[in-house]
Structure 1
Amino acid sequence: MASLVAGVLMTGPVALALGVVGLRRTRARGSRGARLAIAGIALGVFGTLAIVAVVVGVRLTAAAQRPLTLDVDSPREAHAVQLVTGHCVDPLPPSGSVDEVTVVPCDQPHAAQVVTQYRFDKAATWPGQQAADRRVASACALTPAEVEAGVRAVTWAPTEESWGRGDRTGLCVATVEGGGLTGSFLDGTVVIP
């Protein structure tokens, strides 16, 4: 009975342990209650698997949001929320919501580079998509020489959905038509084709 109650309360490992103990006791004593113990074991297994799934999901989500280091030695897939100022990407994703990108070493040809970030206050409420876009765009400042060379700024602001997951960082990405950049805007080594 205790195993069944623990299983209903979703305390998986406890229900499983109590169910195994209860099943052994009912078999050893020849008493009734084996079905309750089996039901408790089943709920215990289900509850334990559910707990494991939640823990794994939380860990994977945290890993997918952890910022990447700037030391990128080969192309790799990343989520946009992992990018920081200095990362180079290729190709530049199409306009709209950006989730996954390919980060490449900046000394290899690339389409764009993250040149600044705009951080919203952690306690801020969702400002709406247009306001979020405007705030991130206000952090994008290209030099007159960059503008003259055909560099344009692309902004990636949090969406309402990503905001709900805790995303509070917007990115300003510098790019040129057709890509093919090498080097970095940040240290002045960029070569614009």
Structure 2
Amino acid sequence: MLLLAPLALVLGIVALRRTSSRGTRGRGLAVAGIVLGALGTLGVVVAVVVGFVNAQATRPLPGDVGSARDAHAVQLVTGTCIAELPDDGTVDVVRVVPCAQEHEAQVVTEFDFAQDAVWPGQQAADARVARACVLDEDETAAGVRPVTWSPTEQGWSRGDRRGLCLAVVDGGGVTGSFLDGSATLP
């Protein structure tokens, strides 16, 4: 219905011109059509901009970004390197860096819940992602620890069905990637 707003705006302008030039009644209706058409058109423009911005904020990143930037947690994929691990709790935005730069964590695996799955509860979601997060013996011996991020109930309601497994070196200083064996620990 809002897609008809631009049409209402145009028809209101046409009607206002005709009523003004001919001196006929209907000027008030023409003005109302213009106002409502303009408001509706503005609403359509705002909706398109919000949709575009939201799509950009949730589009997955490449595994290894070309330059440092802030990213939403839902954009992270296997291979993404994270400059600094945020405090415990809900994670929204993190700083991602090229893996060649120093970083504290890297996404090493993902666990995808089925899109039609029912919310399992926070503890069950955390446990399921944790079972999929396993580091090798060499990484564990070198002081690398696993950290898991699983969807929250609020994120789940927005369609987030991905859990992440991160390889973390407390204090950072890692360069390279755990995925191809090029990671150098401090």
TM-score, structure 2 length as denominator? Answer: 0.94
Structure 1 stretches lacking a partner, 5+ long: 1-8
Q: 2:64–2:79: 8 Å Cα contact kept in structure 1?
A: no
**Which of 25, 28, 31 is 2:24 aligned to?**
31
Q: Distance in 1 between matches of 2:12 and 2:82?
A: 54
- Residue 68 of structure 2 is aligned to residue 68 of structure 1: no
**1:95 partnered with 2:88:** yes
User: Which contiguous aligned blocks of 4+ residues in structure 1 show a shift greater than 6 angstroms?
Assistant: none
Question: What CA distance in whole angstroms lies between the structure 1 residues aligned with 2:32 and 2:64?
Answer: 53
The residue aligned with 2:51 is: 58
Deviations 1:130-180 (A, max 9, x none): 111111111100112222221111111111222122111110011022111
Q: Superposition RMSD on alpha carbons, in Å?
A: 1.3
Secondary structure of the structure 1 residue equivalent to 2:145 = strand
Instruction: Give the C-alpha shift of residue 54 in structure 1.
Output: 0.8
Residue aligning to 2:157:
164
Contact 2:64 2:81 in 1 (8 A): no
Deviation digits for residues 1-43 of structure 1 (CA, Å, limit 9, x no counterpart): xxxxxxxx64311210111111111112101111111111011
Q: 2:110 is matched with which residue?
A: 117
Count the aligned residue pairs: 185
Q: C-alpha deviations, 1:89-138, integer Å up to 9, x for none?
A: 11111111111111111111101000000001011121111111111111
Per-residue deviation, 1:70 = 2.5
Q: Report the secondary structure of 1:142's partner residue.
A: coil
Aligned with 1:135: secondary structure? helix
Q: Which amino acid aligns with 1:131?
A: A
TM-score, normalised relative to structure 1: 0.91
Separation (CA, whole Å) in 2 of partners of 1:104 and 1:126: 32
